[in-house]
Each structure stands twice: as C-alpha cells, then as structure tokens.
C-alpha cells in the first residue's frame, strides 16, 4: 500500500499544507458518547440531500386543483396543488416515496440525536466554562431544528398537518396584547389562509436551513478552537488533550458512521411507512380526524395542551386564554431554564473555573437528579400528547388516562429525580469505574 | 475472521447492491426494494470503512497541549482606545433604534390587522342553513341522534362559520337564560370550532349528548349550552340562535353573540 | 353454503340482508307457528335476562320494542349481543347464533312492535371510492380515525376499528347508531360509497412499507427512537468503544 497523502495533495494546489497538516493531526479524545453529536450532524446531511430532491418536486401552492392521479379514493376531488404534488411524489415519481420517507425518518432521528447529544453534554457538565457559548448555540440549533420539523410537517397540506398548523395559530393568538396581530402577520390573515403554505416553504427550504448551517459552523468552529473536552483518566489534565489524531482513523470512522446512519434511514424509509398523507386526505378546515398528533418532538407541547386544566380568566379586561399557560408560558420557562442553565449552575455552585475535564455524571448527584427529573417531565408530557392513542391501545377511558397523567406529571419527575439522586450517590460512593468513565490506562480495558 | 477480508466482503456487498439498485430503478422501482438495496449499498460501504478504520489502521493515542484560550492581560492592553463621547454614543443609539424600526416596518405588510374579523362570522340574521355541499337544510331533514355540519347559505365550507346542528328532545334541554327561543323543534346549533385550540369539534356522542374535540379531548354538553365538562377548554361553544322559516328551512336568527374559536386577549 | 360467514365477501354480505328477509318471510309462511315459537324460545333463553321476556326492558337492558330489525340484526351479527356483563360497552365477538337464528330473533323482536330502521341493503361494488373517501373523512374519521383503526371517544367508550366489520354491518351501524354513535341518514349511493371506501382501506396493500398501526405520529415516534435512534446509538458504541491498541 503506497499510502494516501492528502496534505501533500492539498499543499501542491492551494499551499495550505501547514494548515491542513495541523488540522489532520488534531487530537480528538475518543469516547463513544462523543460521536452522538456527529449522529445529529450526519442526520442533517441526509436531510439536506433528500430535502433537495423533494424540493424539486414540491409545489408551495395552496390553490385548488382536481386530483387526477392513481390513488382512486381521491380522484376527482379538489385538493391543494401542494398536496397534489406530494401525492404525485408518493405515487408517480419513481423513488419519490422512498426519498420522502427517508427524509421524514431522518427528521425524527435528527431530533432524537440532538436530544441524546444534549443529554450527554448536560450530564457530563460539558456546558461549563469555557463552553457556555456553545451550549447557547446548541440551544439555538435545537430551536431551529424544532422550527424546521414543524414547518416541514405542515408542508404536505394534508388533514393532519393542517390540524397542527391550526393549533399553532390558536396558541399564537392567545398571547396577550400582541397575539392576534402576530398571528395575522405570520399567517397573513385569519386561519386558514392561502399564503401560509408558501411562507412555510420559504422558511423550511431557505431561512431555517441557512441559519442551521450557520449555527453548525459556529458550533464546530468553537469546538475546534476550544478542543474537545475529555473524561478524567491517567495522563489527562486540564491543559492537554489525550486521544487519536483526526487522520486517518477518526476521519474514516466518521465517514463510516455517516454511511451507516444513512443505511439505517434507507432501510426505514423503504420498509416502514411514515406519514401516509393519502390516508389522511387533503386539508379541510371543517373536519379533523382522531387521533391527531404532531411528530414526537412536538409531543410534549401537545401533551401540555391536553393536560392543562381548563383555566381561562380575565385581568383588567384582558382575557388570558386557556392555551396561554400550556402553549406559551410552560415552553417559555422550559427553554428559558435550559438556555440559562450554564449560568444558573455556576451561580448555584459558585464554580466559575475553566473545566476541560468532564464530570462522571454520578459524581454530581444534584445535576443528575435535575436532569432525570426534567427528562421524566418531558416524557410524561409527550405521553400525554398521545393520551387518546394510549386509551385506545390499552382499552381505557381517555378521561382516566388524562387524570392519571395529570397526577403523574408532578409525581413521576420528583420520584425519578429522587431515585436518580440516590443511585448517583451510591454509585459515586462505591466503585471507581463505570460505563461512562474510561479505564485509567489508555490501552487496557 | 480476517478483518481485511471482512471489509472487502462488505465493499462487495455494497457494490452489488448499488448495481442492483440501478437495475431495480430501471425495471420499475418500488419503495421496499429501493430501501433495502440503498440500505445495503450504504451499509456495506459504511461497515467496510469502519472495519478498516477500527482494525486495520494504526492510530496511537496521542497527547496534545491545550494552551489557555485567553490572551495574557499585557498583550490585550495594546489596542488603541476610543475616547468616550457621550453625546455621540447616545445619538448613535437613538438613530440605531429608529433605523431598526424603519427596517422592520415593511414586515407589517405580511398580514392585515385583525380588526373585526375575529369577532364576526358569515352568519347573518335570517341566513338559511346549508350542508357542506350547499344543500338547504329543512327542519324535517334532521332526525334524533343525527348530527350535521352546516354553514350560512352561500358560505358552504367557510372555516369560521362552521356550525354543528343536532336534534334533541326539547324537554331535556337545560340551556342558559334567554335562549329559550333559540331551539325550534329541539334543533340546537353550536359553533364547530373548539374554544380551546380551534379544532373542529367533530365527535358527537349521541347517547350522552356530548361533543368531543379530537385534538385535546375537550368535551361539551349539548343539552347545557355546550358548557365544557372535561378537558382543557374553559369556554362553552358559542350557540347559534335558530328559527324555522315559513318554508320549513332552518335559519339563523343572528350571528353568534360572542367570538367563535380560541380565546384572545380583547375578546370581551 | 349461503349462510356461511363471509365477512369479506361483498356478494355474500350484499345478498344476505335482503335474502334473509325474503327467506324469513317464506319460512314464516310455511312454518309460521312452530318457527315463531322456536324464535321466542331462543329470545327468552339468551336475551330475556336483561331485556325481559316481553322485550320491554329491565334495569339491565333497554326495551327492544320498536328498535327495528337493523338494530337487532347488527347487535347479533357482530356478536355484541348477547352481552355477558350488562355494565360494559358491548364489543365485537364471534356471533352466538347462525344466520337463520339471527333472522328468527329479528323476526320475533320486530313482531312485538313496529318501527325502527329496517335492515339496509348495501352494494359496495356500485359505490364511488372518491365520494366515499370524502364522506368518510367528514363523518366517520373524527371518531373511527382516518384509517378506520378506531379511536377513543371519551367516557370509556371506544369507536371500534372497522377492519373486521362487514359491508352490511357498516351500513347497519350508520342507520341505527349503536351506543354513542350518531345516526347518519345517507342516501343509498352514499352508503355504498362509504362502504366501498372502507373495504378499499382494509384491503389495499401498504404503500411505502409496513403499516405501523395506522394511527400516525405516536407509533412513528416510538419507531424513530427504538429502531432509528437505537441503531444509531448501537453503531456509535460499536465504532467508538475502546479496544486494545492494535
């Protein structure tokens, strides 16, 4: 094997040998959990690739046309041009449906991988000084990804996505003083409006992707500048990085990871049906089918809307609508605390030092308790978003499911937090060496 | 197993699958085959690359220095300072805010002002009821335990005027004060838009006479003026006062007396 | 075998309703006395404990006088009646009687009092799929779901999945409104079209891979986490876990 010399190749052409050599020799600590962020990155790459294909067939047009395609139950019906184009993509464009399904599965996995990556960062304390900025960029990415998912979910203009859009409008309108104005600006009038589809399209294919790419670039630039954090271990200090050079093994592993994730999504896209818009039918503002759920990452917001008690009141003539607390205040608080967490924790612990060595989660039981409690809170809310599906699946009354979850939303997070605190404490007191902490010597297991 | 052979085998699987994928496309395609072949093509290549990277590449553990991120304090003081001019700073700030407003103002073109549109629907005094296909509704058309979605004549399919009409035994009605003449022959009509998040309240439980919203399970009692009995909705569905004209058609006495759909701050 | 159970056979289900009546009338004419006594005995044995021996109702069950043949036929045909526990929502189960016995009980109950909807005829073959789709979405999907997989409608009640329902049963349910279900006064062509659409829904192949419950994003979310994210984490662990230096 003669060997591959990328540095010489680049140097001979653009004279960037010094930079390239430095970049390729850059040392990254290797721990499997450090690859979780890469999963999110690669899912996004797959979203871009499949998304470009879909864009070439999609028509962001709400005007009504007569469906005349191969799906018999809709033939002759009035549908929007947008819906018709997604139907054509799903039934007539060769490889169209598999691309659409890969795109949708990739979106769901993208969001999941962001959450898992974020949990890793949170539990290991990787958000502490000097990485607060990257935590903020990460929160921005999470919000952008949510916006991306929601706008994309709405584009096919089917009955289910139209229902989601309608709920978003209703939540927007509930904001005191500015709600109706905001909603009318965003939607271009009273729901449903013709213009919203093309607006969502511009956001989904141009505005949000551009912002996400910008934010990812910033995220990675800061990571490179600061060098990756590492777990404690022999020879690892706050002033060094112990790991493997980028070239060749890290690059190969990452390329392999990208390909394997793409493979999983391709299998899912071909073998598991997702969002069969032909079953839901075109959007019709006068009907809704049950069960009606958003994609999983909006499920916790949907759950908050379903669980919140019927509270609506008037203060000095200003009506506080029933959707305002669960739809605006709760997510606002949740994201507020999440965003500010690095600063809150520094304030609470009084720890303003630089940390390049990560915590073993069990060594910080308080943080573990908070994280597990918050996670349980979101999981219960997400389950509540599917309360009618739970009722149907387990043959229960939907009221009973709702009432149980209304209690569980307080009890389960506290219980989980308490148990997590105990377990972390016990583990910390017991053995040195767990799943997350690497062995003390680099070479042996 | 020999790692090199394993990687090679993976690449061969990938190669064959890619060729198969192309052949599959040209012979008609289909999502299942596309997914499997594309998955094998990508997965084979990925597996091969990973085996190569993990088992066949020598990559020793290295240590790199991590210099402090911040500059030394002395080097940082080298930059020339801007002398503080309070007037200029304030004026620049004010001009900046004004400029921001000037740049943002075109965004107001994105939508009309709400005006009265949230307070009114297309229902008018004497408007005859039609179904979703535009057919006029007679009182005799609706039987007990039936439910029909209706609109004002000329507005079939109108999103904010959609209304549910049901027929009940008038003796069982227990409506709020002042609605005694709203329900001729036991015909009761409520706005179909949920007062919680605006979904069409499409489920009618004809035995318990309750309407249920499929989105968040808000439940409304038809006999008691559509007061909410379960779920997150806090406000009753607005009721449409009905009458029957001389030809037997059902008509509205007037528009809803309160805004339909989700609540907003200045609705009362 | 004209009385065999052909749930999925449109010809059989189409014919069975009217034919049952015609045959019933014939039988009535010839063996009137003896058959009527047998029908009554069957009713008393299996139904009277709740509905009363005169079908006028008891604390445990409503009066059946004037409910009409479609209601009785639907309840018996889908096995909802007889009901073991009067307190719970009746659910579909294998019917307790054969076609002739059902026709007999229908005849007996109808003889006690007139009124109520008669057994509808249904002909899915002459239905219009597209009309059926649009009527189904507007009228049926809010409770039964867009894919007719059923839904929870509150107060412990479930709108059942229509996957096992025959054409005749669907048509009967529309005219009688069993339980909490409203009554739907559709024209014959509309009935045929809705039934045709439901038949199509249940029998068409899953386009785009395995149908994971057909209830939308909830199962999709579980699959995204379990299959998608689960595999990704497994891959990451296999790639990234520490190994002996080569």
DSSP3 helix / strand / coil % (chain C, rounded to 5): 55, 5, 40
List chain C residues with CB under 8 Å of A30. Answer: 240, 242
Give SS3 for C126: helix
pLDDT value at residue B136 = 96
DSSP symbols for chain B = --HHHHHHHHHHHHHHHHHHHHHHHHTT--HHHHHHHHHHHHHHHHHHHHHHHHHS-----EEEE---SSPPHHHHTTSPPPPP-HHHHHHHHHHHHHHHHHHHGGGGGGS---TTTTT--S--TTPBEE-TT--B-BGGG--TTBEEEEEETT-TT-TTT-EEEEE--GGG--PPTT-GGG-GGGEEEEESB-TTT--B--EEETTTTEEE-TTT--EEEGGGTTEEEESS--SPPPBPPEEE-TTSBEEESSS-SS--SS--TT--
Q: Does C186 touch chain B (CB under 8 A)?
A: no
Q: Of C72, C151, C150, nearest to C115 (Cα)?
A: C72
pLDDT value at residue A294 = 94
Residue C16: partners with Cβ closer than 8 Å, 6 or more residues away: C2, C3, C99, C168
List chain C residues with CB under 8 Å of B39. Answer: none
Give SS3 for A234: coil
* CA-to-CA separations, A442 to B59, C230, C236, C239, in angstroms, rounded: 12, 28, 19, 17
CB contact under 8 A, A309 and B262: no
Give SS3 for C7: coil
* B&C contacts, CB < 8 Å: 64
DSSP symbols for C42-74 = HHHHHTHHHH-TTSS-BTTB---TTS-HHHHHH
CB B235 within 8 A of CB B247: no
pLDDT value at residue C206 = 78
Give SS3 for C183: strand
Q: Is it the case that residue C5 has pLDDT exceeding 80?
A: no
**Comparison of pLDDT for B79 and A42, the residue scoring more:** A42
* CA-to-CA separations, C94 to A130, B22, C206, in angstroms, rounded: 68, 50, 27
Helix (H) or strand (E) holding A151: helix A132-154
| Residue A235: Cβ within 10 Å count | 11
CA distance C180 to A407: 29
| Residue A145: Cβ within 10 Å count | 24
State the Cα torsion C89-C92-C94-C95 to the nearest 10°: 70
CB A134 within 8 A of CB A223: yes
Q: Of B148, B100, B243, B262, nearest to B196 (Cα)?
A: B262
What confidence category does residue C26 fall into, taking pLDDT thresholds of 50, 70 and 90? low
Structure token pair of residue B51: 């085996």
Structure token pair of residue C172: 């009967």
- The mean per-residue pLDDT over the stretch B153-179 comes to 95
Tell which A residues from 377 to 406 touch B, by Cβ distance under 8 Å: 387-388, 398-399, 402
Q: Is the dihedral of CA C59, C65, C71, C77 positive or negative?
A: positive
CB contact under 8 A, C209 and B202: no
Min Cα distance A70 → chain B (Å) is 15
Q: Of C233, B30, C206, C198, nearest to A274 (Cα)?
A: C206
Check: pTM over 0.90? Answer yes or no.
yes
CB contact under 8 A, A188 and B160: no
Structure token pair of residue B119: 């307070």
CA distance A42 to A48: 10
Q: Of B172, B165, B174, B169, nearest to B186 (Cα)?
A: B169
Report percent pLDDT > 70 for chain B.
Answer: 97
Q: Of A422, A52, A35, nearest to A204 (Cα)?
A: A52
CB A326 within 8 A of CB A304: yes
List chain C residues with CB under 8 Å of B139. Answer: none
Min Cα distance C202 → chain B (Å) is 20
CB contact under 8 A, B59 and A248: yes
Q: Give ∠ CA A287-A179-A316 in degrees, rounded to 5.
A: 115
**Comparison of pLDDT for C35 and C207, the residue scoring more:** C207
Closest by Cβ to A270, choosing from C209, C223, C236: C209
Which residue pairs, CB below 8 angstroms and at least 24 apart, start in C77-86? C77/C102, C77/C166, C77/C168, C77/C169, C77/C172, C78/C165, C78/C169, C80/C178, C81/C47, C82/C46, C82/C47, C83/C50, C86/C50, C86/C60, C86/C61
| Residue A179: Cβ within 10 Å count | 25
CB B49 within 8 A of CB A252: yes
List chain C residues with CB under 8 Å of A270. Answer: 209
Structure token pair of residue A445: 């297991």
| Residue A445: Cβ within 10 Å count | 9
Structure token pair of residue C122: 């249904």
Min Cα distance B162 → chain A (Å) is 7
Structure token pair of residue A397: 């009354």
* CA-to-CA separations, B164 to B108, B125, C36, C93, in angstroms, rounded: 36, 18, 45, 34
Q: Does C158 touch chain A (CB under 8 A)?
A: yes
Min Cα distance C121 → chain B (Å) is 20
Give SS3 for A149: helix
pLDDT value at residue C244 = 60
pLDDT tens series, chain A, 445 aa? 456 677 777 778 888 778 888 888 899 998 999 999 999 999 999 999 999 999 999 999 999 999 999 999 999 999 999 999 999 999 999 999 999 999 999 999 999 999 999 999 999 999 999 999 999 999 999 999 999 999 999 999 999 999 999 999 999 999 999 999 999 999 999 999 999 999 999 999 999 999 999 999 999 999 999 999 999 988 999 999 999 998 888 999 999 999 999 999 999 999 999 999 999 999 999 998 888 999 999 999 999 999 999 999 999 999 999 999 999 999 999 999 999 999 999 999 999 999 999 999 999 999 999 999 999 999 999 999 999 999 999 988 899 999 999 999 999 999 999 999 999 999 988 866 544 444 444 333 3
Backbone region of residue A395 per phi and psi (left: phi > 0; alpha: psi in -120 to 50; beta: other values)? left
φ and ψ of A244, to 5 deg: -110, 145
CA distance A133 to A126: 11
Q: Name chain C's partners: 3 or more CB pairs within 8 A.
A: A, B
Q: Does B5 touch chain C (CB under 8 A)?
A: no
pLDDT value at residue A15 = 81
CB contact under 8 A, A445 and C132: no
CA distance A22 to A7: 10
CA A262 to chain CA mean position, Å: 18
CB C29 within 8 A of CB C88: no
Tell which B residues from 171 to 200 touch A, by Cβ distance under 8 Å: 192, 195-200
* A&C contacts, CB < 8 Å: 209
CB contact under 8 A, B203 and C143: yes
Q: Is it the case that residue C13 has pLDDT exceeding 60?
A: no
Helix (H) or strand (E) holding C131: helix C129-135
Per the prediction, chain B carries an average pLDDT of 93
CA distance A229 to B69: 14
CA distance B12 to B45: 8
CB contact under 8 A, B212 and C209: no
* CA-to-CA separations, B229 to B163, B221, B237, C74, in angstroms, rounded: 19, 7, 12, 31
CA distance B19 to B12: 11
Q: Does B173 touch chain C (CB under 8 A)?
A: no
Report the length, in residues, of chain A: 445
What does the pLDDT look like over B90-121, one tens digit per residue? 999 999 999 999 999 999 999 999 999 999 99
Min Cα distance B226 → chain C (Å) is 16
Tell which A residues from 138 to 157 touch B, by Cβ distance under 8 Å: none
Report the length, in residues, of chain B: 268
Structure token pair of residue A355: 């940390």
* Residue B212: Cβ-neighbour burial (10 angstroms; 0-12, 13-18, 19+): buried
Helix (H) or strand (E) holding A320: strand A318-320
State the Cα torsion A260-A265-A271-A276 to the nearest 10°: 180
CB A294 within 8 A of CB A302: yes
pLDDT value at residue A5 = 77
What confidence category does residue C29 fall into, taking pLDDT thresholds of 50, 70 and 90? low
- The mean per-residue pLDDT over the stretch C74-91 comes to 87
- The mean per-residue pLDDT over the stretch C104-123 comes to 91
DSSP symbols for A190-205 = SSS-STHHHHHHHIII
What confidence category does residue B39 fall into, taking pLDDT thresholds of 50, 70 and 90? very high
Q: Does C5 touch chain B (CB under 8 A)?
A: no
CA distance A113 to A100: 20
- The mean per-residue pLDDT over the stretch B225-234 comes to 96
CB contact under 8 A, C236 and A36: yes
Min Cα distance C111 → chain A (Å) is 37
Tell which A residues from 402 to 441 touch C, by Cβ distance under 8 Å: 438-439
Q: Is it the case that residue C35 has pLDDT exceeding 90?
A: no
What does the pLDDT look like over C130-182, one tens digit per residue? 999 999 999 999 999 999 999 999 888 889 999 999 999 999 999 999 999 99
Structure token pair of residue A54: 């879909």
| Residue A4: Cβ within 10 Å count | 10
Closest by Cβ to A95, choosing from B34, B62, B261: B34
Structure token pair of residue C48: 């009277």
Q: Does A242 touch chain B (CB under 8 A)?
A: yes
């Amino acid at each position: 094997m003669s060997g591959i010399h990328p540095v010489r190749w680049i140097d001979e052409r653009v004279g960037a040998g010094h930079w390239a050599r430095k970049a390729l020799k850059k040392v990254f600590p290797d721990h499997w959990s450090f690859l979780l962020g890469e999963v999110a990155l690669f899912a996004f790459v797959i979203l871009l690739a499949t998304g470009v294909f879909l864009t070439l067939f999609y028509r962001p047009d709400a005007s009504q046309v007569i469906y005349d395609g191969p799906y018999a139950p809709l033939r002759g019906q009035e549908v929007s041009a947008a819906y018709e184009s997604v139907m054509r993509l799903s039934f007539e464009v060769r490889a169209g449906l598999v691309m659409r399904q890969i795109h949708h599965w990739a979106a769901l996995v993208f969001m999941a991988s962001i959450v898992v990556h974020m949990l890793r960062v949170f539990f290991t304390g990787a958000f502490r000084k000097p990485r607060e900025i990257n935590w903020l960029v990460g929160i921005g990415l999470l919000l952008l990804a949510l916006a991306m998912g929601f706008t994309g979910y709405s584009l096919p203009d089917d009955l289910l996505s139209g229902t989601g859009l309608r709920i978003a409008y209703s939540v927007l309108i509930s904001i005191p003083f500015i709600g109706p104005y905001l909603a009318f600006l965003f939607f271009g009038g009273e729901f449903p409006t013709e213009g919203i589809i093309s607006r969502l399209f511009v956001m989904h294919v141009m505005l949000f992707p551009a912002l996400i790419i910008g934010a990812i670039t910033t995220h990675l630039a800061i990571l490179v500048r600061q060098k990756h954090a590492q777990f404690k271990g022999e020879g690892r200090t706050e002033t060094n990085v112990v790991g493997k050079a980028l070239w060749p093994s890290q690059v190969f592993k990452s390329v392999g990871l990208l390909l394997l994730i793409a493979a999983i999504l391709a299998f899912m896209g071909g073998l598991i049906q997702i969002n069969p818009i032909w079953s839901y039918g075109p959007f019709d503002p006068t009907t809704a089918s049950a069960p009606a759920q958003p994609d999983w990452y909006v499920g916790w917001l949907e759950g908050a809307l379903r669980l919140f008690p019927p509270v609506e009141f008037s203060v000095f003539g200003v009506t506080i609508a029933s959707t305002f607390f669960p739809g605006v205040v709760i997510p606002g608080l949740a994201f507020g605390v999440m965003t500010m967490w690095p600063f809150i924790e520094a304030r609470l612990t009084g720890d303003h030092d630089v940390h390049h060595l990560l915590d073993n989660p069990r060594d910080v039981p308080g943080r573990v308790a908070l994280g597990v409690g918050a996670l349980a809170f979101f999981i219960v809310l997400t389950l509540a978003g599917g309360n009618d599906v739970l009722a149907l699946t387990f043959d229960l009354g939907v009221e009973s499911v709702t009432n149980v979850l209304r209690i569980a939303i307080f009890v389960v997070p506290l219980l989980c937090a308490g148990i997590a605190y105990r377990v972390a404490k016990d583990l910390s007191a017991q053995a040195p060496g767990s799943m997350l902490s690497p062995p003390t010597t680099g070479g042996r297991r | 197993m020999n790692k090199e052979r394993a990687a090679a085998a993976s690449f061969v699987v990938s190669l064959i699958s890619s060729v198969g994928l192309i052949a599959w496309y040209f012979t008609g395609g289909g999502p299942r085959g596309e997914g499997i072949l594309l998955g094998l093509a990508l997965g084979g290549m990925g597996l091969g690359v990973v085996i190569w990277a993990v088992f066949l590449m020598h990559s020793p553990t290295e240590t790199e220095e991590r210099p402090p991120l911040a500059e030394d304090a002395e080097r940082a003081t080298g930059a020339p300072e801007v002398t503080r001019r309070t007037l200029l700073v304030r004026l620049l700030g004010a001009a900046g805010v004004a400029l921001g407003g000037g740049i943002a103002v075109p965004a107001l073109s994105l939508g009309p002002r709400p005006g009265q549109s949230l307070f009114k629907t297309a229902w008018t005094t004497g408007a005859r009821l039609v179904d979703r296909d535009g057919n006029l509704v007679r009182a005799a058309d609706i039987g007990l335990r039936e439910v029909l979605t209706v609109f004002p004549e000329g507005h079939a399919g109108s999103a904010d005027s959609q209304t549910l009409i049901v027929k009940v035994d008038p003796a069982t009605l227990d409506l709020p004060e002042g609605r005694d003449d709203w329900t001729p022959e036991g015909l009761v009509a409520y706005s179909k838009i949920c007062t919680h998040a605006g979904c069409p309240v499409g489920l009618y439980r004809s035995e318990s006479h309750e309407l249920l919203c499929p989105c968040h399970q808000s439940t409304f009692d038809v006999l008691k003026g559509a007061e909410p009995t379960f779920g997150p909705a806090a406000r009753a569905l607005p009721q449409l006062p009905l009458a029957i004209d001389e030809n037997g058609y059902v008509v509205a006495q007037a528009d809803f007396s309160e805004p339909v759909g989700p609540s907003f701050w200045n609705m009362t | 075998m004209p009385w065999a159970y052909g749930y999925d056979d449109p010809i059989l289900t189409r014919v069975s309703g009217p034919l049952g009546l015609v045959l019933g009338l014939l039988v009535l004419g010839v063996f009137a006395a003896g058959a009527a006594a047998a029908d009554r005995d069957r009713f008393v044995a299996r139904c009277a404990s709740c509905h009363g021996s005169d079908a006028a109702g008891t604390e445990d069950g409503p009066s059946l006088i004037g409910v009409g043949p479609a209601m009785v036929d639907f309840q018996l045909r889908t096995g909802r009646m007889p009901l073991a526990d009067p307190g719970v929502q009746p659910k579909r189960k294998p019917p307790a009687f054969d076609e002739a016995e059902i026709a007999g009980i229908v005849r007996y109950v109808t003889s006690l009092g007139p009124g109520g909807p008669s057994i509808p005829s249904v002909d899915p073959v002459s239905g219009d799929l597209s009309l059926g789709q649009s009527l189904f979405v507007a009228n049926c999907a809010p409770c039964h779901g867009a894919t007719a997989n059923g839904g929870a409608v509150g107060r412990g009640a479930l709108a059942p999945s229509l996957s096992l329902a025959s054409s005749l049963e669907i048509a009967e349910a529309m005219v009688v409104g069993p339980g909490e279900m409203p009554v739907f006064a559709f024209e014959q062509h509309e009935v045929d079209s809705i039934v045709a659409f439901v038949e199509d829904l249940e029998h068409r192949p899953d386009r785009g891979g395995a149908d994971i419950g057909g209830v939308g994003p909830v199962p999709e979310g579980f699959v995204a986490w379990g299959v998608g994210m689960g595999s990704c984490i497994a891959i990451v662990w296999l790639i990234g876990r520490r190994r002996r230096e080569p």
